[in-house]
Amino acid sequence: MADNNNQRRTFDIQFDVAARATGKMRTEAVVRLTQTGEEWEMVSDEGGFHGGDGAAPLPLAYFAMGTTSCLMTQFRAFAKRLNLTITDVEMASSFRWEAHQIGSAPYEGVPIGIDIDVSVQSKESESDLVNLLVKAQKGCFVEQIILKGFPIGHRLQINRGNWIVM
């Protein structure tokens, strides 16, 4: 019989978001993990400078939190899988963009830099801990999307008519 420890397997992860515009610049959404049926209600808003009420975190705050906590989770989960003992994991991350605008026309967003500093307490070897961070990056679903670039499919429906594929 094959050794189960070397068995290749693939599993799927899918998150669906059902979002609607409310208030001035508020987005109210239900985010669902399809594999388990777990759902979370999440709300974003914009600050006054972008026409909102500042009553909930900004969309980019959700993105920054998602990216950072994704790496954090895999760093801890994979330490267990690799039998490495770590404590006091802290991450300091920075996400920077420039917006390019002409007059009051819609502006374009240009990513400038993303950096994540990881600090950890451990008696394991440096090479083991470096390898752990490399593995965590490969296992971080958000980082893999960001690093590789990825097309996003868009469809537009006007007045409940036919879907326009963009």
Residues 31-70 that bind its own copies (CB under 8 A): 31, 33, 36, 38, 40, 42, 44, 46-47, 49-51, 54, 57-70
Joined together, the tokens standing for residue 97 give: 């963009």
CB 54 within 8 A of CB 45: yes
Q: Hey, what are 109's tokens?
A: 């967003």
Q: At closest approach, how far in Å is the CB of 112 from its own copies?
A: 8
76-109 CB burial, b ≥16 within 10 A, e <16: eebbeeeebebeeeeeebebeeeeeeeeeeeeee
Give the shortest CB-122-to-its own copies separation in angstroms.
6
Residue of 1, 53, 85, 120 that binds its own copies (CB under 8 A): 120
| Total residue count of the chain as it appears in this document | 166
Among 1, 53, 55, 95, binds its own copies (CB under 8 A): 95
Question: Looking at beta carbons only, is 1 or 155 nearer to its own copies?
Answer: 155
Structure tokens at 145: 């999307």
- The CB-of-1 to its own copies minimum distance in angstroms stands at 14
Of the candidates 102, 99, 136, the residue with the CA atom closest to the CA atom of residue 116: 136
From first CA to last CA, the distance across the chain in angstroms is 50
Contact call for residue 147 and its own copies (CB under 8 A): yes
78 sits near its own copies (criterion: CB under 8 A): yes
Q: Which two three-digit tokens encode residue 95?
A: 């996400």
* Among positions 11, 53, 55, 85, the unique one binding its own copies when judged by CB under 8 A: 11
Q: How many residues bind its own copies (CB under 8 A)?
A: 127
12 binds its own copies (CB under 8 A): yes
